[in-house]
Chains A and B, each alone.
Chain A
């Protein structure tokens, strides 16, 4: 079943078609939420909330449009909204608990060191920068899709991505030390 067919069937009230969409996109949404919030329990809540919002709103969704960016946009709204409701910041990214922290059999020690370093560097990014990095390179959204998901101009996305990459490079080069804050940041 294509996404378009699934959407049309959802719009006529078929739950099974929605089940199909959930199975197809649940991993990318859950991973995105974990990477954005650093908290698996919170991420699960947010993904549920996002899918339920999608189900409630699918009647107004224009079939034929890509589904993933739409779902990601709803998820981003859910994350932002929950952040406000809780009125506390979420756990820093580097503290999120992995289902299994043991190295995979094929991984080298070097590769694991790299993964840990990148995790920490991602955790050192500001929330906005981390968001664009996760949506671009994990959720694999294009720049226009990302702009629509976050609700800012493509130019802003590009500049955030560029700054985020530059900051990651610097942090990795210096072993994870944060850049000195200037009033410009």
Chain B
């Protein structure tokens, strides 16, 4: 090479010169304006069209609910007409997706058959133990509400049936009676085993928006021994993937956030001895895919605390036209109503509806949860118009801030329910948050985002809003799930904040660990320096919730001689702000384990299960780049075999069945994409 690109600065200069030289070849066609102008005739600015759209909607609105209630073709056709009209009208950001959504909606405008995609009886999970109804009720504020709960290693079946959360899980995953048919006829009627329900996944859900976060590389410990990240209790990426597959869609590799798959499961960590902190546990085992590496699991289990502080809840409901797609409005209405019913007399609730602006007629300022105005407002949620999330959140934050000043003793939640398809004013999560910026760090507003819908769904916006809004993010795909997620017990645990701004720092022993790599957490990894700061984007952990992280590590050869000993490979420190008092806290622990521990022989099937989940999600996410597909395919097949070997200990569980169903499809997709011969240059 003639040029020298030895430093970043030289490379930058070379790139600028290169692009300058290329610019001549990259000029736009001369007639570009004529092409655009021709289409502008049909698509004028929003001012006049908004009026036209309102007329169309005014005509449709009269019969909207009755039509939706009957599930008839007319309502869906109206939705298709509406979406088609939107496709030609809205301007910014993700609006191009409507052009895609319109034909999809039109395609199901033929008589809609409400099918049960997969209604697995509770007995499948609970057999042969007693029915869930006989199980003792969980005490208030004691549940972590994991969507996919696995039992602790012993007494597998009993644990399942005595924990209401598993029943919730069954409802959450399988109760789909209120869904419409997927575009491809791939669903079997009732009670089929999961792995035989949908084959093969035919398509990707149209017009969805995700962000691929480049996976973390291996880091040489000699260069950087410190890994810092924010904890995360979200599990939406897993919920979305399972829903898509059950609806007959493929799982989008760029939708996979491995940490949300890992944290979708309950690994049965013990509670901390004291109620002020976390139980930090760690495990070390040989890597199931690579004999030269090890896996490390670190679990953080928050204490379960009782906290009787009242709540100020502000429901911000998306009433835009895209919410008319499928059963989104029904789900949002069910979730809002379930939250209202779960609130206590000392709590206060407000309701805000928004489309292209706030619907002031339906706004209810903070009042008693039993007030009829609140119930009426929730019931009147109806889809029309475009989506200005910023306006809705601004109004919600204004109301929440006012009630916070009036009732400073209360916790404050702003709950946004939306499909995330923002298209008016700010459409970027950071711009939206900036406008709704909350300056009170001591008693923060906690932004919970609830996503609804399969197609035309913006995962990025909702995830980022919650992450940077001091809250958490959930996905709901049917009304039963909405009711279960916000049932009184579940809501009490979720709405009791335990730790804010929670982050962890793992410092690897540079004498033992040659390199390390965190699985997932790509958009939660933060600078080592930031660990000392209490920042809003770090995680809010509800009472009793758990977070798990997996690392892949490479050890120096000399450690092989010490394989039979228990070694300390790293120190881990956790920092957080106590939600109740605003005080900063920290806690330390060691990552210890024997290097000769084999996952299969660890005596903990949940450890192996978690490892399989983590590695599967991680590898599958790598399909997004389209490189090394053959190697990813091989890894997924190996993981699939390992998962099958756990059938004896975990096979009776719905969570296991669901994940096996997913992994089979993931491996199948990778196989289908893989070239016949593996390329060179791959190393584990």
A residues contacting B by CB (< 8 A) are 10-11, 13, 15, 18-19, 22-23, 26-27, 29-31, 34-35, 44, 47-49, 51-60, 73-74, 77-78, 80-82, 84-85, 87, 89, 98-100, 104, 107, 110-111, 113-115, 117-118, 126-129, 133, 137-138, 147-148, 150-153, 155-156, 160, 162-163, 165-166, 168-169, 172-173, 175, 178, 180-185
A128 and B212 in contact (CB under 8 A), knowing A74-B93, A169-B5? yes
**What are 10 of the A-B contact pairs (CB < 8 Å)?**
A13-B44, A30-B27, A81-B94, A81-B207, A84-B208, A133-B15, A153-B430, A169-B11, A182-B217, A183-B218
Contacting residues, chain B, for A44 (C-beta < 8 A): 28-29, 32, 35
Q: A173 to B11, alpha carbons, bound, how many Å?
A: 11
Nearest CB to that of B16 among chain A residues? A137
- Chain B stretch 220-275: residues in CB contact (< 8 A) with chain A: none
The answer to whether B128 has its CB under 8 Å from any CB of chain A is: no
Chain B contact residue count (CB 8 A cutoff):
84
Contacting residues, chain B, for A23 (C-beta < 8 A): 33
A115 and B22 in contact (CB under 8 A), knowing A52-B39, A152-B523? yes
Interface string of B43-68 (1 = CB under 8 A from A): 11111000000000000000000000
The answer to whether B119 has its CB under 8 Å from any CB of chain A is: no
Contacting residues, chain B, for A172 (C-beta < 8 A): 1, 3, 5
- Chain B stretch 638-684: residues in CB contact (< 8 A) with chain A: 681-684
Number of A-B contacts (CB under 8 A): 224
A77 and B40 in contact (CB under 8 A), knowing A57-B91, A114-B2, A114-B18? no
A184 and B215 in contact (CB under 8 A), knowing A30-B27, A114-B2? yes
Contacting residues, chain A, for B327 (C-beta < 8 A): none
B3, B6, B431: most-surrounded residue (chain A CB, <10 A): B3
Q: A118 to B94, alpha carbons, bound, how many Å?
A: 32
Task: With both chains docked as a complex, state the minimum distance between the C-beta of A118 and any C-beta of chain B, in angstroms.
Answer: 5
Task: With both chains docked as a complex, state the minimum distance between the C-beta of B26 and any C-beta of chain A, in angstroms.
Answer: 3
Contacting residues, chain A, for B619 (C-beta < 8 A): 183
The answer to whether B133 has its CB under 8 Å from any CB of chain A is: no
Nearest CB to that of A87 among chain B residues? B204
Nearest CB to that of B527 among chain A residues? A155
New contact pairs (12) apart from A53-B92, A59-B91, CB-CB < 8 Å: A31-B26, A31-B28, A52-B43, A57-B93, A107-B21, A114-B14, A126-B625, A155-B526, A180-B683, A183-B215, A185-B214, A185-B625
Contacting residues, chain B, for A27 (C-beta < 8 A): 23, 26-28
Taking a contact as CB atoms under 8 Å apart, the answer to whether B33 and A19 are in contact is yes
Taking a contact as CB atoms under 8 Å apart, the answer to whether A59 and B93 are in contact is no
Q: A49 to B100, alpha carbons, bound, how many Å?
A: 14
A57, A114, A162, A168: most-surrounded residue (chain B CB, <10 A): A57
Q: A169 to B209, alpha carbons, bound, how many Å?
A: 32
The answer to whether B627 has its CB under 8 Å from any CB of chain A is: yes
Task: With both chains docked as a complex, state the minimum distance between the C-beta of B147 and any C-beta of chain A, in angstroms.
Answer: 26
The answer to whether B25 has its CB under 8 Å from any CB of chain A is: yes
The answer to whether B622 has its CB under 8 Å from any CB of chain A is: yes
Contacting residues, chain A, for B206 (C-beta < 8 A): 84-85
The answer to whether B159 has its CB under 8 Å from any CB of chain A is: no
Taking a contact as CB atoms under 8 Å apart, the answer to whether B90 and A57 are in contact is yes
Nearest CB to that of A172 among chain B residues? B5
Q: Which of B39, B89, B428 contacts A151 (CB 8 A)?
A: B428
A115, A152, A181: most-surrounded residue (chain B CB, <10 A): A181
Taking a contact as CB atoms under 8 Å apart, the answer to whether A78 and B96 are in contact is yes
Taking a contact as CB atoms under 8 Å apart, the answer to whether A156 and B14 are in contact is no
The answer to whether B424 has its CB under 8 Å from any CB of chain A is: yes
Contacting residues, chain B, for A34 (C-beta < 8 A): 26
Taking a contact as CB atoms under 8 Å apart, the answer to whether B21 and A115 are in contact is yes
Q: A110 to B14, alpha carbons, bound, how many Å?
A: 13
Taking a contact as CB atoms under 8 Å apart, the answer to whether A181 and B627 are in contact is yes
Q: A132 to B627, alpha carbons, bound, how many Å?
A: 19
